[in-house]
């Protein structure tokens, strides 16, 4: 046997370093694969830009026309299309993040997941690589929509864009981690439809993307505060349209600031990540 054929055999310290290297390499290549697949799938690229645009134009214009007077009272001189713009960006982030994570179910169906699960890397590396991949793609997806900002009369500057991208990434990381947790337990694509209808759509509708989270019925008020997407929409709206329209989610008479929103997202992401890794480790 030549040395080239001795894999991690050898001193414990060496094999520990080797496994650290493999894990880092694993995180990187799983992330890279997601980017590669995203870039290669032109249909997905186009449709994921088209869908938010459709919402913005049809929903925004339609509701402005029919609810014009009532909306103006609430929103001041901001048009409804402008109001929902940050929500639509969040929508793009939400859907892309969840779809990226759910691709694990496809990987299981098509067998590729086995290649990943029998590799000598930890399940934590698998989940982290996947979460980073989904978050990066979702951040791109939300970021592209910022092209529309000037058309809607929202001025951008480099620092603002950077802040927004950071928020998008954090939101996406939280949601991809949640998606991975779901995907690790999901056995079929059919079950995913149910998750979509009963979890993801409500998360989107209750996030404040379409209406301000003020003066809501008590039960709805509670539910919206449990929705992680809300903590992404509010700071993005504040950055894009100003604090008048997004004074911060109110918890115990305190309006949350952008940093606090970020911390909540990070905490949610951390919990989801831990649960996702556990769910993966439980699989044989």
Backbone dihedral angles phi then psi of residue 250, each to the nearest 5 degrees: -95, 120
Q: How far is the CB of 5 from other proteins (least distance, A)?
A: 5
The pairing of beta strand 254-255 with beta strand 250-251 = antiparallel
- The contact set with other proteins (CB under 8 A) reads 1, 4-5, 7-9, 15, 18-19, 21-22, 25-26, 28-30, 33, 36-37, 40-41, 106-107, 109-121, 284
User: Could you say which DSSP state residue 4 is in?
Assistant: G
Is the Cβ of residue 30 or residue 88 nearer to other proteins in the bound state? Answer: 30
DSSP string, 99-165: HHHHHHHHHHHTSHHHHHHTSSS-HHHHHHHHHHHHHHHHHHHHHHHGGGTGGGT----HHHHHHHH
Cα distance between the two ends of the chain: 32
Is the Cβ of residue 10 or residue 68 nearer to other proteins in the bound state? Answer: 10
Is the Cβ of residue 36 or residue 58 nearer to other proteins in the bound state? Answer: 36
Is the Cβ of residue 47 or residue 61 nearer to other proteins in the bound state? Answer: 47
Is the Cβ of residue 77 or residue 284 nearer to other proteins in the bound state? Answer: 284
3-state secondary structure at position 242: coil
Nearest-5° angle of CA 132, CA 265, CA 101? 35
Is the Cβ of residue 34 or residue 227 nearer to other proteins in the bound state? Answer: 34
Q: How far apart are CA 110 and CA 132, in angstroms?
A: 22
Are the C-beta atoms of residues 233 and 209 closer than 8 Å to each other? yes
Q: How far apart are CA 19 and CA 274, in angstroms?
A: 20
Are the C-beta atoms of residues 154 and 245 closer than 8 Å to each other? no
Q: How far is the CB of 188 from other proteins (least distance, A)?
A: 11
Of 179, 52, 32, 197, which Cα lies nearest the Cα of 106?
179
Is the Cβ of residue 117 or residue 275 nearer to other proteins in the bound state? Answer: 117
CA-to-CA dists, residue 89 to 35, 82, 171, 196, 232, angstroms: 19, 11, 11, 18, 10
3-state secondary structure at position 256: coil
Is the Cβ of residue 22 or residue 154 nearer to other proteins in the bound state? Answer: 22
């Amino acid at each position: 046997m030549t040395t080239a054929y001795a894999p991690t055999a050898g001193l414990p310290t060496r094999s520990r370093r080797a496994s650290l290297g493999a894990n880092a390499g694993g995180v990187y290549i799983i992330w890279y694969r997601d980017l590669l697949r995203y870039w290669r799938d032109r249909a997905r690229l186009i449709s994921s830009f088209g869908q938010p645009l459709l919402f913005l134009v049809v929903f925004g214009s339609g509701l402005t026309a029919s609810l014009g007077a009532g909306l103006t009272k609430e929103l001041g001189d901001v048009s409804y299309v402008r109001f929902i713009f940050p929500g639509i960006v969040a929508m793009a982030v939400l859907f892309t993040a969840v779809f990226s994570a759910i691709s694990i179910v496809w990987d299981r169906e098509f067998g590729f997941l086995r290649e990943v699960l029998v590799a000598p890397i930890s399940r934590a590396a698998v989940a982290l690589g996947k979460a980073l991949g989904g978050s990066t793609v979702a951040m791109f997806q939300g970021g592209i929509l910022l092209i529309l900002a000037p058309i809607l009369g929202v001025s951008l500057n480099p620092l603002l864009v950077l802040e927004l991208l950071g928020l998008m990434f954090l939101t996406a990381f939280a949601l991809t981690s949640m998606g991975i947790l779901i995907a690790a337990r999901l056995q079929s694509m059919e079950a995913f439809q149910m998750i979509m209808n009963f979890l993801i759509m409500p998360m989107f509708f209750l996030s404040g993307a379409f209406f301000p989270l003020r003066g809501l019925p008590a039960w709805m008020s509670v539910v919206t505060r449990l929705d992680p997407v809300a903590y992404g929409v509010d700071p993005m709206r504040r950055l894009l349209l100003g604090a008048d329209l997004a004074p911060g989610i109110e918890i115990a008479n305190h309006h949350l600031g952008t940093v606090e929103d970020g911390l909540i997202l990070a905490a949610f992401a951390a919990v989801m990540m831990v649960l996702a890794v556990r769910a993966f480790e439980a699989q044989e």
